[in-house]
Structure 1
Amino acid sequence: MPVFSVLRVALTGPESTGKTTLSRLLAEHYSTTWAPEYARYYLEQHGPGYVLADLERIAKGQLRAEQNALQAAQLQGRPLFFCDTDLLVIKIWAEHAFGICPPWILRRIEEQRYDLVLLLNVDLPWEPDPLREHPNHRQYFYDLYQRELREQMSNYAEISGTPEERLEQACFHVDTLLGKTGAWRLPATFRA
């Protein structure tokens, strides 16, 4: 089976903005794969206390999850896959918690570009969770993500509103990406 280029769509943004739910819904909508957020799995296994070395392990786990989702999308012949979070989350997390981000993560962010990044706004209510830390700093972090994406000159779109509106907006941007790249030339049975 020939290997073909698969588009990468990342969902990023502060805590409790619906990244996981929207990633799952988009993967279902487009009948493709998604890379779950590895940080949640890691912290559930090791507890909410962490050091910088833990963030590096989380970053490596996230990259493995993305690689697995990519390979699965290729095997299924899908034109794209979704990533529930990205290394930008690790960068902002590390710089906020420890004042630095490991250089290899910064290099990887530069090397690994996404075809589209969906930046989720903080207009959903905060959902308490023992693994979440900053209920009163979401706008601050949102502004950091927005600035980083602009500085990277990323192809990104801001997503806001109700969960239904978020899905509709995200699908619009993904459909636009697929149309621009010509990747949306699948049989109608694969279309959502």
Structure 2
Amino acid sequence: MNKLIKKIAIVGPESTGKSTMSQLLANHYRVSWVPEYARYYCENLTGPYTLQDEVNMYYGQVALEDAILTVSEKDFIICDTTFVTVKIWSDEMLGETPQLVLDALPARPYDLYLLMDIDLPWQDDPLRDFPDKREYFMGVWHTELKALNARYEVIGGLGDLRFEHAVRAVDAFLSES
């Protein structure tokens, strides 16, 4: 894995445009992006997920990320979410987080997080659970990112304005690197 490649993570509560933003930014900068492994994993679940499922999602997300880092020829990659999501969902849904995830949080940092704001309208999706808890989860994201001492920017706005805000944040980060 090439540690010289910077990782920019697109994170936030459900239905805030993370996947769309990840793809738009990757296309804009002509860099690789890491899809959200949990989406693929959860599409195939036949019952309620367990702590082992969360561990599996952690390993899947990390494996995808490592694979992209291995083949990337650019200075940075875009990550559609991170395994911080595993911590948030484990805590919320199962009341605990697997220790390997807790251990990995400080050991596998991201260089910049773009925290997508909840100013977009909710979009129904069979894999989304909490349309009424978006403010709560936005607060959880702030708490988790601060606990990691992470560099992050909140990205808001509708349509092209949201994308422009994200590009401005990435450009500012890249100009300092």
TM-score, normalising length: structure 1: 0.88
What is the aligned partner in structure 2 of residue 135 from structure 1? 131
- Of 155, 161, 164 in structure 1, the residue corresponding to residue 151 of structure 2 is 155
Q: Any conservation in 1 of the 2:33–2:68 contact (CA below 8 Å)? A: yes
What is the aligned partner in structure 2 of residue 79 from structure 1? 75
Residues 64-143 of structure 1 aligned to structure 2 (within 5 Å): 64-73=63-72, 77-143=73-139
What is the aligned partner in structure 1 of residue 169 from structure 2? 173
How far off is 1:179 after superposition? Answer: 1.0
Over 3 Å counting, the alpha-carbon distance change for 1:47 and 1:121 in structure 2 is: farther
Taking the aligned partners of 2:138 and 2:176, their CA distance within structure 1 comes to 28
Q: Any conservation in 1 of the 2:14–2:128 contact (CA below 8 Å)? A: yes
What is the aligned partner in structure 2 of residue 188 from structure 1? none
Q: CA RMSD of the aligned region, Å?
A: 1.3
How far off is 1:97 after superposition? Answer: 0.4
Taking the aligned partners of 1:72 and 1:22, their CA distance within structure 2 comes to 22
Q: Any conservation in 2 of the 1:48–1:130 contact (CA below 8 Å)? A: no
How far off is 1:46 after superposition? Answer: 2.3
1:31 aligned onto 2:33: no
Higher-Rg member (1/2): 1
State the AA in 1 paired with 2:105: I
Over 3 Å counting, the alpha-carbon distance change for 1:15 and 1:48 in structure 2 is: farther
Residues 173-192 of structure 1 aligned to structure 2 (within 5 Å): 173-181=169-177
| More moved, 146-155 vs 105-114 | 146-155
Taking the aligned partners of 1:69 and 1:48, their CA distance within structure 2 comes to 30
Residues matched between the structures, number: 176
> Percent identity over the alignment?
39
Over 3 Å counting, the alpha-carbon distance change for 1:47 and 1:172 in structure 2 is: farther
How far off is 1:4 after superposition? Answer: 7.0
Q: Which runs of 5+ in 1 are unaligned?
A: 182-192
Q: Which runs of 5+ in 2 are unaligned?
A: none
State the AA in 2 paired with 1:88: V
